[in-house]
Each structure stands twice: as C-alpha cells, then as structure tokens.
Amino acid sequence: MNMKQWLLPNLFASTCLFSITCSAGPIENYSPVTADRLKNPEPGNWMLYRRTYDGQGYSPLDQINTSNVKNMTPVWTFSTGVNEGHEAPPIVNNGVMFITTPMGQVIALNAKTGDEYWRYKRQLPDDLFQLHPTNRGVGLWQDKLYLATTDDHVVALDAKTGKVLWDTKVQDYKKGQYLTLMPLVVDGKVIVGGSGGEFGVRGYVVAFDADTGKELWRTFTIPGPGEPGHETWSGDDWKSGGGSAWMTGNYDPETRTVYWGVGNAAPWPGDTHPGDNLYTTSVLALDPDTGKIKTYFQYHQNDSWDWDEVDAPMLVDLQRDGRTFKSLIHPGRNAIFWVLERKPDKINYVAGWPFVYTDVWKGIEPETGRPIVDPAHKPVIGKRVEFCPSLWGGKDWPSAAYSQNTRLVYVPANENFCGGFTGEKTPLVPGQLWLGTKPEDIGLKVRPGATHFGELQAWDPATGKKVWSYNFPKSHLFGSVTVTAGDLVLVGGTNDRMFRAFHAKTGELLWEQKTNSGIMGMPVAYEVDGTQYIAVQSGWGVDGQRIQDALATQNNIGVENNVPQGGVVWVFAVKK
C-alpha cells in the first residue's frame, strides 16, 4: 500500500473522529414541529420537556395500564457511551427519538427499532469546568433541534441530519456561565436560562430567533438600578447575586405567559446579601415576545440555603374551596407545597404546607404567602448552622407530575435529610466556585430514628391531603416522575438502579426493572404504529451521586457509594 492509498481511508476515519456528526442515515418524512403541534401535541408524542406546555408530565396514553404493566418488558436499549447524569427525557416526534447526554451529545434514533440515524458530539473546550456535567434535552421547532451546552452556547441542528445550522454564544463559560436545560420553544423563539448560581453570576432568561440564532431579548432575574425590585438589594450585591434560571419554563398560550423558575441567591449565607433579593427563589411570569416581567411570586425571601426554585410550577385548572381557578402548583425545594392562583397581571398565594419535615419555617403569612423563618436555622457568616431539609431540599429539580385522571400531584420527595454549613466571607473570583462556605464543610445528616429517605408522594392539591406515599428505606429519590392515563406513576431515582411503575390511585408497586445504572432521567410515554412504549435514560451522576456519597461517607446507615455509571436508553412495551 502506498502512502496515498493509506492516507485516504485514514483521513476518512479522522474526519469521522473529529467532525461533530457521524451520519448513519438521514431521517426521511420528518414531521415539522409547528406552534399548533406544540400547543396540542398528538397523544403519542413527547415534544416538550414535560410533554405539554402546562408542565404536568402527563401522557394520555393508556394501552399500558395498571392491569397489564406486569407484562411490560424491554424491547430495545441503546448505550450512549458516556458517564455522568443522564437527565433528559427521550423526545419523540412521530417515530423519531432524540436523546441528549452529558458532554453535549444528541442522538437521533428510530423510536420503534432503536436504530441510530445520526449522532452529534459537541466539541467541548479542554479547560471547561463542569460542576453539573449533564443536559436535559433538545427543543423542537419546524425541522430544527436546539441544544443548550455546558460551554454556554445554544446550537441549532438540522433534525434530519444532525448538521449544525447556527451556533450562538450566550455568555462566557470561563466566568462560570453554562447551560444544562432543555430550551423552551414558543412561536419560533428559543428560550433558555443560565446556570451558575455557585459562581456568583447574575441570572437571566434569554430568547433567540429559531431560524437565525439572533438574540431577541434578555431579561435579568436580578433587576438593575432603576428597575422595580432593585430596592430589595443592598449596594452592589445585585451584580453577583445569583438567581440562575437553569430549568425549562412552562407556558400558558391563553395569556401568552411563560412561567420560569429562578434559583438561589449568591453566595449562600443570607447576611452576605441583605434584603428580599428579588427575583431569586421566585417564579417569573414573562411575556415571550419581549421578555418583560409581567408579575412574580417569591417562594422565600433572602435565600440562605441554596434552595433554587428553578423547577417551573405546573399549570393546573384546580377546583378548591368551592371554586375553579387557574393555578400554579409547585412542590418547592424549600419544603413547602405551593398552590397559587395565576392571573394575567398577578400571582396570588392560595395555600402552602410542608410536604417533608422542616425546622426552617414557623408558618406562612396568610395574606402574602411569605414564609416565616426561624433565625436559628438560617445560615449566616461565622457560625455553623443546621437546617432541615438539606440543601437539596424537599424536592430538588426533578419534576413532579399531575394526573388529569386522578387529579393528584406525584412528588419525588426526600424526607429525613438535614444539612448545615459554616458561612464565611470569600472574595469573588470569576469562574471559581463562590458558595460562602467551604465546599467540604457542607453536610448531609440523616435525622435520628429515620425509617426512610426517598418518598414518592401523592397529594390532593384540592384538599392539601397526602393520599398515599411509598417509602424507600435505603435510598434517596432523585428522578423525575411521569404519570399516564393508564394510571401508572413512572419513576427511577433510587440507588438500587430500579425503574418502577406504581398504581396512581393506591401507590401499589406494580412493576420494576433493574437497569444498568441509577436513573435520574425523565420517563416518557409514546406511541409508534399503534404500540405504546415507555422510555427512560439510566445514567447516574451529579447530585444523585453527591447525595449517595454523603449517605455513604457521612452517615452510618449501611449505604455504599457503588452505583455504577454509564448511560443507556431503555424502551419498554407490553408483550402481545
């Protein structure tokens, strides 16, 4: 073989190695995604983060149900080839599935057979520092996909081929700015919010033109001088006050309002940033055309616990106290289950109650919905303060779900965890962690006498009563919940690598399957050619792993840190 002959095949191999897409075949007959299809998705598809704009995580499919789920079995699996937390829902559009993984991969698969169409690999910079190496999915519009990356870009791909159509830098990853969320697409606008609450950023939500990648508007979650709410900050604290917005928002098409959750104040100890600190730990109501803040509700003031409230509230038409109203429902990281009323220009407090043990709140002011804090459990500079629940809260970012059948809310809660740290003043160095405590000082302690940790809860938002719960004696619960019209509550999230289906009305465990790794991903239900499937990614990492490490090394409760990593897509169906 001469040099020329040798070089050609090697060049081809190298091109495949270094280019960002290796095609196994373009997708034919791809169904363009329109505004109407996103507003009223076909029952067999899952095209938004929680399937529908209301964020309920409810599938109307019922072919797989409480009577036949015992016969549910894997039909195909697919290894993603990467480690760390696989948190994305498999997105499905008329038989085509899009998977995203840590390290910025997008994989297009035949949703029926598991055959690969193409794979995109983001070429991340060598000096990137990934505190949260994960991704939560691609947004869809027409024949394009939108990926938000940990090196702080939004990338548009051709859905049929995986080719890059545009690539827009959002901010500078070297300053601790990054993205992990699935973009929300509303009428041709691709909306994302930045991560970086542990790096002293000033959070924002930003919209890009879906066709060109041009920035249309950017709304900071911390108001600048002269803007309403700026008075809730002292001095220059607002410039580095956190308020990251790292989860996908929900959307009310009737009022054209996007509801977006906002994260913790920075640094953590509250006395380093005195004031209410708007709009940290809040939900913002935004106009998708302009980014204008229509109104807001703050779940707690002067955040001191790293209790991001980034998980957007669910939009539910609720019957309660003898009336029907348009509600926002949010089981908070701050341990309070919130029922709010959404109006075009105002969000009113309706009810709130603790859904796990907390020693931080003494009550809620009934007129305003402001929680009343016990100062003994509020972290400050210079002394160690303990608080319950832990900094991962009663429910962290993994999503709850609402069933239109049972009218119950299903919450992946964590009970009996407390935390603590010693606040300290440290200078902000852009791009470096800025917590207001030593990271190694952060504790996770199990309450004495605890019988369990993870708790899958079913709440009736109309009455505030817990209808059932399923307890996990040896594991936390760190995975999103999905519910179907077949009355199945689907969830992974435990350290025994199980994927489970529960009876939505009773909480009875109906089915379980041990998988390759722990499941942090969101389960979905979809249908192709008349067959219903259930899909989920199994791949443990990030905070599921962090809590596991803390249970194993700081608490003598017989838990080991031996959950294996490595991502696999699992797809199930009922044997016919």
Partner 1 sequence: MSSPSDKTRRTIILTALATAVHASAPRSAAAEDDPPGSDLRPQKADLLVYAEGDHAGEVIKPQDLKPGGPPVRAWPKDPKTSVVRKGSRLNEVVIVKLDPAELDDDTRPRSADGIVAYSAICSHAGCPITAWGKAAQGEKEVLKCVCHNSEFDPRRSAQVVFGPAPRRLAALPLATADGSLTIAGTFVGKVGAQQGG
Give 228's contacts (C-beta < 8 A, 6+ positions apart): none
Is 7 near partner 1 (CB under 8 A)? yes
Beta bridge mates, 445: 418
Local structure of residue 368 (DSSP, 8 states): T
Q: How many CA atoms lie within 13 A of 128 on its CB side?
A: 21
The CA–CA distances, whole Å, from 357 to 334, 353, 368, 410 equal 10, 11, 23, 17
Least spacing, CB of residue 22 vs partner 1, in Å: 11
Q: Which of 27, 55, 84, 160 touches partner 1 by CB under 8 A?
A: 84
Q: Which of 45, 100, 101, 517 touches partner 1 by CB under 8 A?
A: 101
Binding mask 533-552 for partner 1 (x = CB under 8 A): --------xx--xx--x--x
Least spacing, CB of residue 163 vs partner 1, in Å: 16
How far apart CA 366 and CA 389 sit, in angstroms, is 23
Looking up tokens 């109906």 gives 510
Q: State yes or no: is 441 an active-site residue.
A: no
101: nearest Cα among 74, 124, 126, 127? 124
Is 125 near partner 1 (CB under 8 A)? yes
Please, are residues 315 and 326 in contact by the beta-carbon 8 Å criterion?
Answer: yes
Report 10-29 residues binding partner 1 (CB under 8 A).
Answer: 10-11, 14-15, 18
Select the span of 74-82, 392-400, 476-484, 491-499 touching partner 1 (CB under 8 A). 74-82
Least spacing, CB of residue 179 vs partner 1, in Å: 15
How far apart CA 3 and CA 499 sit, in angstroms, is 53
Query: Which of residues 125 and 382 has its CB atom nearest to partner 1 in the complex?
Result: 125
How far apart CA 465 and CA 352 sit, in angstroms, is 12
Is 133 near partner 1 (CB under 8 A)? yes
Is 445 near partner 1 (CB under 8 A)? no
Is 443 near partner 1 (CB under 8 A)? no
Please, are residues 349 and 368 in contact by the beta-carbon 8 Å criterion?
Answer: yes
Query: Which of residues 394 and 420 has its CB atom nearest to partner 1 in the complex?
Result: 420
Residues constituting the chain: 576
Is 475 near partner 1 (CB under 8 A)? no
Q: Which of 5, 29, 36, 127 touches partner 1 by CB under 8 A?
A: 127
Is 105 near partner 1 (CB under 8 A)? yes
Query: Which of residues 103 and 360 has its CB atom nearest to partner 1 in the complex?
Result: 103
Q: For the CA atoms of the chain, what is the radius of gyration?
A: 23
Is 320 near partner 1 (CB under 8 A)? no
Phi, psi values for residue 375, rounded to 5°:
-60, -20
Least spacing, CB of residue 157 vs partner 1, in Å: 15
Least spacing, CB of residue 543 vs partner 1, in Å: 10
Query: Which of residues 362 and 438 has its CB atom nearest to partner 1 in the complex?
Result: 438
Q: Dump strand ranges (E) for 187-313.
A: 189-193, 204-209, 215-220, 250-252, 257-261, 282-286, 293-298
Please, are residues 102 and 541 in contact by the beta-carbon 8 Å criterion?
Answer: yes
The C-alpha angle 309, 457, 327, rounded to 5 degrees, equals 50
Query: Which of residues 152 and 415 has its CB atom nearest to partner 1 in the complex?
Result: 152
> What is the number of other CB atoms lying within 10 angstroms of the CB of residue 494?
25
Looking up tokens 């789920």 gives 69
How far apart CA 264 and CA 435 sit, in angstroms, is 11
Active-site pick, 54, 158, 303, 306: 306
Select the span of 31-39, 124-132, 328-336, 527-535 touching partner 1 (CB under 8 A). 124-132
Least spacing, CB of residue 181 vs partner 1, in Å: 18
Local structure of residue 475 (DSSP, 8 states): -
Query: Which of residues 22 and 450 has its CB atom nearest to partner 1 in the complex?
Result: 22
Q: Regarding beta strands 58-59 and 482-484, do their DSSP bridges make them parallel or antiparallel, or are they unpaired?
A: parallel
Is 424 near partner 1 (CB under 8 A)? no
Q: Which of 41, 57, 89, 102 touches partner 1 by CB under 8 A?
A: 102
The C-alpha angle 304, 431, 202, rounded to 5 degrees, equals 50
Select the span of 368-376, 431-439, 452-460, 483-491 touching partner 1 (CB under 8 A). 431-439
Select the span of 66-74, 81-89, 377-385, 412-420 touching partner 1 (CB under 8 A). 81-89
Binding mask 170-209 for partner 1 (x = CB under 8 A): --x-x-----------------------------------
Residue 164, token pair as written in the block: 């890059």
Query: Which of residues 102 and 521 has its CB atom nearest to partner 1 in the complex?
Result: 102
Binding mask 372-411 for partner 1 (x = CB under 8 A): ----------------------------------------
Q: Which of 26, 43, 60, 81 touches partner 1 by CB under 8 A?
A: 81
The CA–CA distances, whole Å, from 504 to 22, 58, 412, 456, 459 equal 42, 12, 14, 11, 11
Select the span of 130-138, 321-329, 371-379, 409-417 touching partner 1 (CB under 8 A). 130-138
Per DSSP, helices labelled H in 29-99 are 35-39
Q: Which of 70, 169, 292, 362 touches partner 1 by CB under 8 A?
A: 169
- Phi and psi based region of residue 188 (left: phi greater than 0; alpha: psi -120 to 50; beta: remaining): left
Residue 518, token pair as written in the block: 């722990």
How far apart CA 103 and CA 105 sit, in angstroms, is 6
Local structure of residue 159 (DSSP, 8 states): T
Select the span of 128-136, 222-230, 371-379, 490-498 touching partner 1 (CB under 8 A). 128-136
Is 438 near partner 1 (CB under 8 A)? yes
- Total of chain residues touching partner 1, rule CB under 8 A: 48
Residue 267, token pair as written in the block: 């640094």
Is 124 near partner 1 (CB under 8 A)? yes
How far apart CA 66 and CA 488 sit, in angstroms, is 6
Least spacing, CB of residue 9 vs partner 1, in Å: 11
User: Where do contacts with partner 1 occur on this chain (CB under 8 A)?
Assistant: 3, 6-7, 10-11, 14-15, 18, 80-84, 101-105, 121, 123-131, 133, 169, 172, 174, 429, 431-433, 438-440, 541-542, 545-546, 549, 552-553, 561, 565
User: Which residues have a catalytic role annotated?
Assistant: 306
